[in-house]
Amino acid sequence: MIANAALLAALSVFLLAAWLAGELTFLAPYKVALFRLYGLFMAQMALLVFFNLCAAYYLLGRWFFLRETGRKLTHMDRDLIASEGVREDVPPELWSTRG
């Protein structure tokens, strides 16, 4: 899930940089001076945006893909308690004591 969030964040930052490069073509004559004076600052801001997007996509992925996990695990636990046939396949130390 972290790799997917990082991929989406990198893609978003790349698309944002490409869009900005297209919109700021009037600054092309000054690009050497801009990168020499503010290149490090621009790289730091791009990295900051990447990390923030990575965290946002990670939280969104956790919320979207893991929201029903507790209910599914509870359902499986009830099935393991109720069904003796399933317990034959599971070692006794893994049986649930709840229920």
The domain ranges of the chain are 2-67, 68-99
Say whether pLDDT at 98 is over 80: no
Which pTM value belongs to this model?
A: 0.67
C-alpha gyration radius of the chain: 25
AA identity, residue 32: V
Give the C-alpha separation, 25 to 31, whole Å: 10
- Cα three-residue angle 63-61-9, rounded to 5 degrees: 140
The reported pLDDT for the residue numbered 60 is: 94
Average pLDDT, stretch 72-97?
Answer: 65
pLDDT band at 74 (very low <50, low <70, confident <90, very high): confident
